[in-house]
Structure 1
Amino acid sequence: MLSSKREREPDPAPRPVAPGLIELRGIDKTFGTVKALAGLQAAVAPGEFVTVVGPSGCGKSTLFNIVAGLEEPDPGGVLRFEGRSCHARDLLGRVSFMPQRDLLLPWRTVVDNAILALEIEGVPRRAARAEALGLLPEFGLAGFADQYPHQLSGGMRQRVALMRTFLFRRDLLLLDEPFGALDALTRTMMQRWLLDLWQRHRRTVLFITHDVDEAIFLGDRVLVMTARPGSVKLEQRIDLPRPRRPELVTEPDFIRLKRTLLAAIEEESLKSFQFAAEET
């Protein structure tokens, strides 16, 4: 795979990034000859819900892997967590990360899947199970403690995976398209449930999605990423009232925001097609 002949240079004067729980300044990431990120600037404040959208292949998952401590960015950028400069590897184990698949262990019950991270951290099994059992009703899993993953619906499996992520007790939750494989009705119900959970506990959330409606409905801010190499093209604040109601998606302010975001994404998607054509 070759890098694009029209590789974009980072903006010469990047906009300032407000301090946050996590801050990324001038972040690049290269895989062989392919530049995945270029000059990425972003920050997420404590208690904020930030959603990330962009064309396919724009580096959203690479961004998440860096924040999760799974990938180290190229030298030269600045990564800060809780106000201190750090390497990406320093973040490993300091944030809760839920990938696209639920990754439940088929031989463990609901409650035993949920406590996996607590067990790894050394919490006694009895104490971990007691904590998880107390949270089952809040996660819509009351009565399902002893069920196995194959006995659950897709939405319930995602609830177990989110409960496991939540029990990891980290201030920053990284959620990578957690509802992407669900049907439309289940997805809508899960979005409302996640917002209720977030509003009760106010964990900081960074959330990847391909669904613009979902990005607007959930987020305090939406970050639109450019075509590869990825950077932040648009940072859109979502000034819509909370709690968010399902009918919000039909209201003029929501539709206006959706048009703005779709225009930005479509512009970058067109660039992606142009770059791909030049590489062939």
Structure 2
Amino acid sequence: MLQREGLSGTDSNPTTPILELRNVNKTFGSVTALRDFHASVALGEFVTVVGPSGCGKSTLFNMVAGLEEPDVGGILRFEQRSVHASDLLGRVSFMPQRDLLFSWRTVIDNAILALEVEGVPRKAARAEALRLLPEFGLAGFADHYPHQLSGGMRQRVALMRTFLFKRELMLLDEPFGALDALTRAMMQRWLLDVWQKNRRTILFITHDVDEAIFLGDRVVVMTARPGAVKLEQRVDLPRPRSPDIVTSPAFIEIKRTLLAAIEEESMKSFTAATSTEYAQ
């Protein structure tokens, strides 16, 4: 399990799991994406997920978002109740890799989309979003359109929209993956500041090990396909985290452990792919 008895998170009640998955399998035709997947995330935690390409991270997120059902026998529990994956649709906020902003809507109108879907009157939704613009680094940009924004600012709008969809659990699928290194580092620090203020529970996919450690309370390493949990690493680094923490001995030791696990799984994936190619 990702959450084990005795591990403390960042919330006032850190041992309360908001999400649990037990014996989860997911097969697409002849391909098994997840096998015997066990996981849980505690209320208020920031959990990051890494693993080799094709290990089932996106399948996991689609399941938690309510877009995919596990195969028969898998158990999903949300807020301490057993649910079908379809029951989770609309109960968690999900930001995919692309910002998916509507080009014809302004910053403020893109941000309030989830509130409008929820039935919040447009005037009230805009007033709420306007109050949040400074916190998301968007003060003065309410009436700008997506094409007038930098990549980092577009991601801020998308994240603001995700936060305004007021759900305790947020799924963030590589939100900074397309950004340049400097913008990415700035966005990581900004996200931690926003998280500290709002205390939402976050499950965050990334391919960047440094990012996973810098952001997370725990880092989960998935195996090569079929995906399962190979390793979970507690990140016992102080918060708030400053940029220079990446050079600390504790950070470097955690990174060494994670890289060894990921490289082992990546080699398995490469070997399997090579064997299949030669067999053909």
TM-score greater than 0.5 by the shorter chain: yes
Alpha-carbon deviations, 1:208-262, whole Å to 9, x = none?
0000000000000000000000000001000000000100000100000000000
Q: Which residue in the other structure is 1:200 paired with?
A: 197
Q: Is the 8 A contact 2:3 2:41 kept in 1?
A: no
Q: Which runs of 4+ in 1 moved over 4 A?
A: 14-19
Q: Is the 8 A contact 1:17 1:41 kept in 2?
A: no
Work out which of the residue numbers 189, 193, 217 in structure 2 matches 1:220: 217
Confirm whether residue 160 of structure 1 aligns to residue 149 of structure 2. no
In the TM superposition, residue 279 of structure 1 has moved relative to its aligned partner by 1.9
**Which amino acid is the alignment partner of residue 99 of structure 2?**
D
Q: Which residue in the other structure is 1:66 paired with?
A: 63
Alpha-carbon deviations, 1:184-207, whole Å to 9, x = none?
000000000000000111000000
CA distance in 1 between counterparts of 2:2 and 2:92 reads 26
What 5-or-longer segments of structure 1 have no aligned partner?
1-13
Alpha-carbon deviations, 1:129-149, whole Å to 9, x = none?
000000000000000000000
CA distance in 2 between counterparts of 1:16 and 1:22 reads 10
Confirm whether residue 274 of structure 1 aligns to residue 271 of structure 2. yes
Confirm whether residue 140 of structure 1 aligns to residue 132 of structure 2. no
RMSD of aligned residue pairs (Cα, Å):
1.1
Alpha-carbon deviations, 1:138-172, whole Å to 9, x = none?
00000000000000000000000000000000000
Work out which of the residue numbers 147, 151, 169 in structure 1 matches 2:148: 151
Q: How does 1:80-91 map to 2 (within 5 A)?
A: 80-91=77-88
Confirm whether residue 48 of structure 1 aligns to residue 48 of structure 2. no
Q: Is the 8 A contact 2:103 2:146 kept in 1?
A: yes
Q: Which residue in the other structure is 1:10 paired with?
A: none
In the TM superposition, residue 77 of structure 1 has moved relative to its aligned partner by 1.2
Work out which of the residue numbers 237, 244, 248 in structure 2 matches 1:240: 237
CA distance in 2 between counterparts of 1:273 and 1:185 reads 31
Alpha carbons of structure 1 residues 39 and 161: separation in structure 2 relative to 1, 3 Å: same
CA distance in 2 between counterparts of 1:78 and 1:232 reads 16
In the TM superposition, residue 277 of structure 1 has moved relative to its aligned partner by 1.4
Q: Give me the TM-score of the superposition, normalised by structure 1.
A: 0.94
In the TM superposition, residue 278 of structure 1 has moved relative to its aligned partner by 2.1
Q: Which residue in the other structure is 1:6 paired with?
A: none
Q: How does 1:1-80 map to 2 (within 5 A)?
A: 20-80=17-77
| Equivalent position SS for 2:39 | strand
| Equivalent position SS for 2:94 | strand
Confirm whether residue 125 of structure 1 aligns to residue 122 of structure 2. yes
**Which amino acid is the alignment partner of residue 153 of structure 2?**
M
Q: Is the 8 A contact 1:17 1:42 kept in 2?
A: no
Q: Give me the TM-score of the superposition, normalised by structure 2.
A: 0.94
| Equivalent position SS for 1:139 | coil
CA distance in 1 between counterparts of 2:213 and 2:270 reads 25
What 5-or-longer segments of structure 2 have no aligned partner?
6-15
